[in-house]
Structure 1
Amino acid sequence: MSARPACDRPPAARARRARRALRALWAIPAGRLALTAVGVIAAATALGLFVLWPGDGAVAGSSPGADARGAEVVAVGTDGCRPELGPGCRTLRIELDGRASTATFAGDALTPLPEPGARIRVVPAVPVGAGEGATPPWVFLDYDRRAPLLLLSLLFAVVIVLLARRRGLLALIGLGASLALLATFVVPAILDGRPPIAVALVGAVAILLVTLALAHGASSMTLAAIIGSACTLVLTALLATLAVDAVQLTGLVSEQAFVLRVASDGEIEPQGLLLAGMVIGALGVLDDVTVSQASVVAALRRAAPSMPARTLYAEALRVGRDHLAATVNTLALAYAGAALPILLVFSTVGTSLGDAVNREIVAQEVTALLVGSIGLACAVPLTTAVAVALARRVPTELLGDAHAGHAH
């Protein structure tokens, strides 16, 4: 009977196994060096979190959705609409907190008219120069999509746990920790005027440390993946900075960036936001590449313990090239999908492909794709080299769970 994978052991057993693995790694010079490197990365990240942690001065504007409330549409009419709102205006009779009220629907051509029974979000109306009760007290903001999104999220979680069991649960916990770091550190710190590229880099490494440790435990291959990923993130941040300056991207092509710049009185730099987005975007696929490469090295080492380091590196790199090609293709299609509507708009007005790509709104997507792809390409040989250096010097039982790799 084969041993139970580490991910299927009870939490207490996993913790004991992790402590034993760390002690065993520390007893080996190569393991001690790797643990020291990861310790330095973790300490630098903790220092970055301390220095960049947002205070109470985050930008707090009066956005249209700040006072949004949930309501249900009861009926739709035209009474109460002011002439300046146009022929598409409708008055929605709504139920809000158990009470009957009304809301104005301004007739946005991009938003379908809500029907009775629809769940919507409304905000208080502040009509200029109007007296009390002169207009419906609420204004339609958007449809309320929270309930279906919650159900879809629950379905996602159930499917992941059913298929991946304990490892899937750990992955979901890591995902929750990642979202929590983004919500409690990255976003507030940028709004508080901290340098976006520094915030993104520190936040990305913190997410990396949490998710890899949770999903893969303590092993030499986890250490290799952390070292390779952290080094690649720093390289990607440097490359993104050079690329944005070389391509002369301002980051002001989106309405959101312009609004943030105005709301913060210029404290939030749009170019920095663009750089931060490139770093966070690269993280989305980077951990998959580095963990896979480390797992390939571990699998080859178990299958052929006497394989020379040069051969081990070459064989793992051969697998890494295939994985890299598939990942870059996935990344390219994701960015192409994001830029497709923009390209279609340019095509309808007769803009050539070359001129369309030259426009900043497209050029920033192309730059992000190229920067991310170069970072991924560097991650493969770097992580493979670190993993091989460790795999050749540690016992096979310290390589990590044999089932830890991704299937590709």
Structure 2
Amino acid sequence: MEHSHQHAAEPPAPLPRRTRDVLTAVVLAVLVVAAAGIVATWPRDVPSASTGYVGAQTVRGEVTGTRMHTCRAELAEERLPDGTMPETVQCPDATVAVDGAGIVTVPVPAAVFHGGLGPGDRVALTRYPAEAGAAEAYVWEDFDRRLPLAVVLVVFVLFTVLVGRRRGVAALVGLGLGGAAIAFHVVPALLTEQNAVVVGLSSSTAVMGVVIYLTHGLSARTTVAYLGTVAGLLVTAVAAVLAVDGSHLAGLDDESSYTVTVLTGAVDLRGVVLAGTLVAALGLLNDVTITQAAAVWEVRAAAPHAGFRDLFAAGMRVGRDHLASTVYTVTFAYAGAALPTLLLVRLYDQPAGQLLNSSAIAEELVRSAVGGIALAVTVPVTTALAAALVARSPVAPGAGEVTR
């Protein structure tokens, strides 16, 4: 009885030495440029804001009870839906057993109270010491979320390590490096008004240069993904500058942005929008480029004699599906972030044109569109680079042969 079988698919042979040397030189050049950008924009004399009260400190305690009492309406948010200001409103107070300092009563924002505040909740207060004849005072700060946050993070780390194993650990290290870059370079540099595009590009490129090899190992496939990511970041930067400038987005759509401007007196929040768009695009681009590079390598392993055209076509079939799903991810992620603004706009019953023209919504639309543009360009660029390199690699001996 006659039978046949095909040898299992084997990965293509290593790339020619000269090709590998060129790839290495390109990656090193990119990293050198990124390092130069970080050095040029490294923050010095970072401004800081003071509470204005010497000795003010955060203390923590447990809520023992809450109550409502009538008080005069003084805050803008206490206006009625028709725009008028009532004479009196119901104001909530909370009694808090402060750790090591007894029980105090503090006013609580109405939104916090109605959102759920009751006995047993751990909270943080700001304590202002007595001075110049004024008595010691306590002011509401926020809930004390340290324990639940710690639990969530520990569970996240455990699942990541258990499922991802070595790669999971590497991914966590990469997250730490990315967080450090944002904390010690991006944020301080923006506060000292360094060029936002240079800051975002240099930090993102340098961090990804470390993280991607740490997570996926040293290989030509990883290098293709890295170079594809860098290309996507460049496209993101160009598209973001054109879109933000053309839309006159100044980043002044929320209270935090306004507070930053007031406290620093000079920070260009347009730059914050640009840098934020670059940082947000980083994870998406890395996901797509890794997938595209892997797809091309897998196609060549299954079809050892496939040339550039076949490899590119097969890779793009995967890329189109991935692009479509990722666009949904980007759009709905930004929509979720803008949901409070959407609720407010809906309450005012604004026309669709006016809704889209508002700064907060326009900023999210620009981010989504820029992310989509970057992804649409990055997929074919990465796929083409991977196909070109893999097509140049020699076919492993015996690959694809049929024996009987």
- The alignment's TM-score, normalised by the length of structure 1, stands at 0.82
Q: Secondary structure, in 3 states, of the residue corresponding to 1:109?
A: helix
Q: Following the alignment from structure 1 to structure 2, what is the Cα–Cα distance between the partners of residues 109 and 366? A: 28
Number of the residue aligned with 2:91: 88
Number of the residue aligned with 2:6: none
**Is the 2:92–2:113 contact (alpha carbons within 8 Å) kept by the matching residues of 1?**
no
Number of the residue aligned with 1:139: 139
RMSD: 2.9
Number of the residue aligned with 1:104: 106
Q: Following the alignment from structure 2 to structure 1, what is the Cα–Cα distance between the partners of residues 196 and 145? A: 30
For the structure 1 residues 226 and 64, does the alpha-carbon distance in structure 2 shift closer, same or farther, using more than 3 Å as the test?
farther
Which of 18, 22, 46 is the aligned partner of 1:29? 18
Query: Shift of residue 320 of structure 1?
Result: 0.4
Which moves more between the two structures, 255-264 or 33-42? 255-264
**Which one scores higher on RCO, CA 8 angstroms, separation ≥ 6?**
2
For the structure 1 residues 318 and 87, does the alpha-carbon distance in structure 2 shift closer, same or farther, using more than 3 Å as the test?
closer
Q: Following the alignment from structure 1 to structure 2, what is the Cα–Cα distance between the partners of residues 118 and 67? A: 23
Q: Following the alignment from structure 1 to structure 2, what is the Cα–Cα distance between the partners of residues 238 and 202? A: 14
Number of the residue aligned with 1:47: 36
- The alignment's TM-score, normalised by the length of structure 2, stands at 0.83
Q: Following the alignment from structure 2 to structure 1, what is the Cα–Cα distance between the partners of residues 63 and 248? A: 52
Query: Shift of residue 62 of structure 1?
Result: 2.0
Q: Following the alignment from structure 1 to structure 2, what is the Cα–Cα distance between the partners of residues 104 and 343? A: 32
Look up the equivalent residue of 2:49 and give its one-letter code. G
Q: Does 1:326 align with 2:325?
A: yes
For the structure 1 residues 126 and 246, does the alpha-carbon distance in structure 2 shift closer, same or farther, using more than 3 Å as the test?
farther
Gaps of 5+ in 1: 1-20, 398-408
Q: How does 1:119-134 map to 2 (within 5 A)?
A: 119-125=122-128, 131-133=133-135
Query: Shift of residue 392 of structure 1?
Result: 2.2
Query: Shift of residue 101 of structure 1?
Result: 5.1
Q: Does 1:208 align with 2:211?
A: no
Aligned residue pairs, count: 368
Q: How does 1:111-260 map to 2 (within 5 A)?
A: 111-112=113-114, 114-125=117-128, 131-133=133-135, 137-260=137-260
Q: Following the alignment from structure 1 to structure 2, what is the Cα–Cα distance between the partners of residues 78 and 289? A: 53
For the structure 1 residues 381 and 68, does the alpha-carbon distance in structure 2 shift closer, same or farther, using more than 3 Å as the test?
farther
Q: Following the alignment from structure 2 to structure 1, what is the Cα–Cα distance between the partners of residues 321 and 34? A: 32
Larger Rg: 2
**Is the 1:235–1:375 contact (alpha carbons within 8 Å) kept by the matching residues of 2?**
yes
**Is the 2:57–2:128 contact (alpha carbons within 8 Å) kept by the matching residues of 1?**
no
Amino-acid identity (%) = 35
Number of the residue aligned with 2:8: none
Which moves more between the two structures, 338-347 or 39-48? 338-347
**Is the 2:71–2:91 contact (alpha carbons within 8 Å) kept by the matching residues of 1?**
no
For the structure 1 residues 362 and 77, does the alpha-carbon distance in structure 2 shift closer, same or farther, using more than 3 Å as the test?
closer
Which moves more between the two structures, 225-234 or 180-189? 180-189
Q: Secondary structure, in 3 states, of the residue corresponding to 1:62?
A: coil
Which moves more between the two structures, 343-352 or 102-111? 102-111
Number of the residue aligned with 2:382: 383
**Is the 1:58–1:193 contact (alpha carbons within 8 Å) kept by the matching residues of 2?**
no
Which moves more between the two structures, 374-383 or 106-115? 106-115
Q: How does 1:279-290 map to 2 (within 5 A)?
A: 279-290=278-289
Q: Following the alignment from structure 2 to structure 1, what is the Cα–Cα distance between the partners of residues 395 and 156? A: 35
